[in-house]
Every structure is written in structure tokens, then in C-alpha cells.
Amino acid sequence: MKIPMSNIRGAIMIAVMTLPLLSQGIAQEAPAAKPTGPAISAEFSLEARHVLVKGSNMHYVDEGEGDPVLFLHGNPTSSYLWRNIIPYATPHGRAIAVDLIGMGKSDKPDIDYRFTTHAEYLEAFIDALELTNITLVVHDWGSALGMDFARRNPDRVKGIVFMEAIVAPAMPIPSYEAMGGAGEFFRNVRTPGVGEEMILQNNMFVEVVLPELGTVRNLTDVERQAYRAPYPTPESRKPTLVWPREVPIAGEPADVLAIIERNGAWLHETSIPKLMFYAEPGAFGGPEIAAYFAENLKNIETNYVGPGYHYIQEDHPHMIGRELADWLGRHK
């Protein structure tokens, strides 16, 4: 089934704008103010490294010395998302940003790309680099992966910094109806044939969600091409289709739902130092979620960065970088 581009874009716009208020199903727009501060660079000139993991090469960058600060991205991004933030971390540790398997410059093996498979590759990557005393800096699905790893390996993680995270109370979602207009978008993505047309053929996450709807500022042509480069063919875009099908809605998929629930319980129980960045209105982690975490989590700081939706690293990298550096300096 072929869906007109205008209809797809409209559905995605509803999805992005309504996520901050899923339970009310009310659209909310970001303030008109644009990000301010130092220029945001499109360049990502750090040395590319690769390590063999489960028979495939995973790409990463590795700068600085000391305890590792491990940056984990989500859908449809890569280590490129962290390019303006990494320099703030290197004075305080060994900054490592990995491309999840099948994404960025990592290999694209013929696997299912489900959450549990990504988790296996990520843990194998961490083992291959022999990382301990890790501070996780995580976003989107990288947050769920990072929290899952930390929950299962508490002796290897000393802190967690998260933004726009896939964790309770934003997730899981009880029903498509609870998502308002976003429900139709996710239902379409998860419909066989329809989702393939949207994501594999039209490359919607890369071409529309990220650059058009997920940021306040307009990404440059260089930045758009950097995000586009890993996905030149429909086959290469498989991870970007599987990820939205992993979002726990109405109890499915049950295995991911259970992991997200366990991650949420762990986050509430653990005293590990935490830092949350949030924007207004945000998508998964706006002011209401930040207020909830500030009241209910142990040993957490929250930091407002400004107007934004989901990819706040592209709107406020220097604000995030400066506050991250300060927090790292106080949590050695």
C-alpha cells in the first residue's frame, strides 16, 4: 500500500507534537525561540575506530583518558549526534561514542535488529573494549539499552546521563488511543506493507522525523547528508523500521515491555548518580517528566536546555556539553 508523502508527514507531525501529552492527546508546539550560543559544527573529524563484535565490525570514536563516558544514540542517528558534545567530556574521561549495529558506520549484518539483539551486540562491544566504571550518556533507544545494561551490570556503571529517554512514565503506552493522533502513525508503521513503504522506501525517519520535525533549528545540508549516508537503500534502513515497532504499545511486544518496566523500576530504586536533560516541550522527556523524576528518583539532577523536541543534541549541544562537563567534574 502506497501512502502519499503529505499524509505520512502529517501523521508524523501529529506523532511528534503529541508525544509530550500522550495521555491527553493534545498537540503542543515548541516556543518560537531559536537555539542560541556558539555555532553548531557539522564536522565530525574524530578518528574512526572499529572492533569486531559477533562477527561484524562496530564503528566508534574514542577520545581522552580515564574512566569511560559511553555515548549511546537511538533511531535513526549515530555517534554523529554527539559530535559537538564529546569535546566537553574528554577533559573528564575517555569519551566513547559507538554506532549501534546496523546503524551509522557499523556493519549491517542480516539480523532481526530487535531490542534484545541490539542489547547483545552492545554488551559484546563493551566487553570487547573491557569497559568498567562507565558513565552512560544516552538518548532515545540508547537510553533503554543503557539502562538495561546498567540494571544487569551495576558493578560496571557509575553514573547515567539521559535525555528523551524511553522509560516510565513516558513508556510503556497502554493503547494506540492513548497516543491521540500519534496512535495512527505508530499503527501504520507497524502494519505490514504500510510501514515498509513509509520507512524503507520513503526513509521517513531520516528525511522527515529527524530534520523536519525533531529539531527546532534547520539542519544544514551537510548534517542531513551525514544522517542520510548510512541508509542509501531500502535494505539498509531495516533498523529504522524495526525500532518503532519495538515501542511498547498495548502490551506488545511483550519482551520489550518487560524490559522497559524493569528499567523503570531499577531507575526508581538505584542511588546511582543521574543527570537528566530536557527541553520544552520535548517528546518523551519534557518538563512534566523532569518534574516527576526530580520528585521520585534518588540522586538526580535535572537540567533545562531550552526549546526543543526530540533530538535536543542538535539544538543545544553546547549547553548540554557544558553542563555535562560540570556534572562529570563533580562525579569523578
In this prediction, residues 259-278 reach a mean pLDDT of: 97
Percent of the chain at pLDDT exceeding 70: 89
Which carries the bigger pLDDT value, residue 83 or residue 6? 83
CA–CA gap between residue 140 and residue 174 (Å, rounded): 19
Q: Which amino acid is at 130?
A: E
Q: Give yes or no for residue 10 having a pLDDT over 50.
A: no
CA–CA gap between residue 21 and residue 26 (Å, rounded): 6
Helix axes 254-269, 141-152, angle to 10 degrees: 70
**Contact assessment for residue 58 and residue 121, using Cβ atoms and an 8 Å cutoff:** yes
State the sign of the Cα–Cα–Cα–Cα dihedral 27, 11, 247, 249: positive
Rg (CA), the chain: 18
Write down the pTM of the prediction: 0.91
Enumerate the domain spans of the chain: 46-171+196-330
- How high does pLDDT run on average in the chain? 90
If one counts every other C-beta atom within 10 angstroms of the C-beta of residue 100, the result is 26
Asked if 164 is an active-site residue, the reply is yes
- Which grid cell is 167? 522509560
Least confident stretch, 25-29, 251-255, 286-290, 299-303: 25-29
CA–CA gap between residue 73 and residue 113 (Å, rounded): 15
Residue bearing cell 555535562: 324
Per-residue pLDDT, 31: 54
- What's domain 46-171+196-330's architecture? 3-Layer(aba) Sandwich (3.40)
Per-residue pLDDT, 195: 96
Q: Give yes or no for residue 142 having a pLDDT over 90.
A: yes
**Contact assessment for residue 173 and residue 23, using Cβ atoms and an 8 Å cutoff:** no
Per-residue pLDDT, 179: 83
Helix axes 182-189, 5-18, angle to 10 degrees: 120
Find the distance separating the first CA and the last CA of the chain, reported in whole Å: 54
Given the residues 164, 246, 314, 323, select the one marked as catalytic.
Answer: 164
Q: Give yes or no for residue 123 having a pLDDT over 90.
A: yes
Asked if 280 is an active-site residue, the reply is no
Does 154 sit behind a cis peptide bond, omega within 30 degrees of 0 on the bond before it?
no
Of the candidates 50, 5, 15, 47, the one whose C-alpha atom is nearest the C-alpha of residue 249 is: 15
Per-residue pLDDT, 181: 75
Per-residue pLDDT, 286: 92
Q: Give yes or no for residue 110 having a pLDDT over 90.
A: yes
Residue count of the chain: 332
Given the residues 73, 92, 139, 310, select the one marked as catalytic.
Answer: 310
Which carries the bigger pLDDT value, residue 26 or residue 332? 332
Q: Are β-strands 68-72 and 49-53 bridged in parallel, bridged antiparallel, or unpaired?
A: unpaired
Q: Give yes or no for residue 302 having a pLDDT over 70.
A: yes
Q: Give yes or no for residue 78 having a pLDDT over 70.
A: yes
In this prediction, residues 309-319 reach a mean pLDDT of: 97
CA–CA gap between residue 287 and residue 186 (Å, rounded): 24
Give the confidence band of 114 by pLDDT, cuts at 50, 70, 90: very high
Asked if 140 is an active-site residue, the reply is yes
Q: Give yes or no for residue 2 having a pLDDT over 50.
A: no
Of the candidates 309, 15, 28, the one whose C-alpha atom is nearest the C-alpha of residue 180 is: 15
Q: Give yes or no for residue 5 having a pLDDT over 50.
A: no
pLDDT tens-place string over residues 17-76: 434 333 333 334 555 455 566 899 999 999 999 999 999 999 999 999 999 999 999 999
Given the residues 140, 223, 246, 315, select the one marked as catalytic.
Answer: 140
CB hemisphere CA count around 170 (13 angstroms) = 25
pLDDT tens-place string over residues 191-205: 999 999 999 999 999
Give the confidence band of 180 by pLDDT, cuts at 50, 70, 90: confident
Per-residue pLDDT, 77: 98
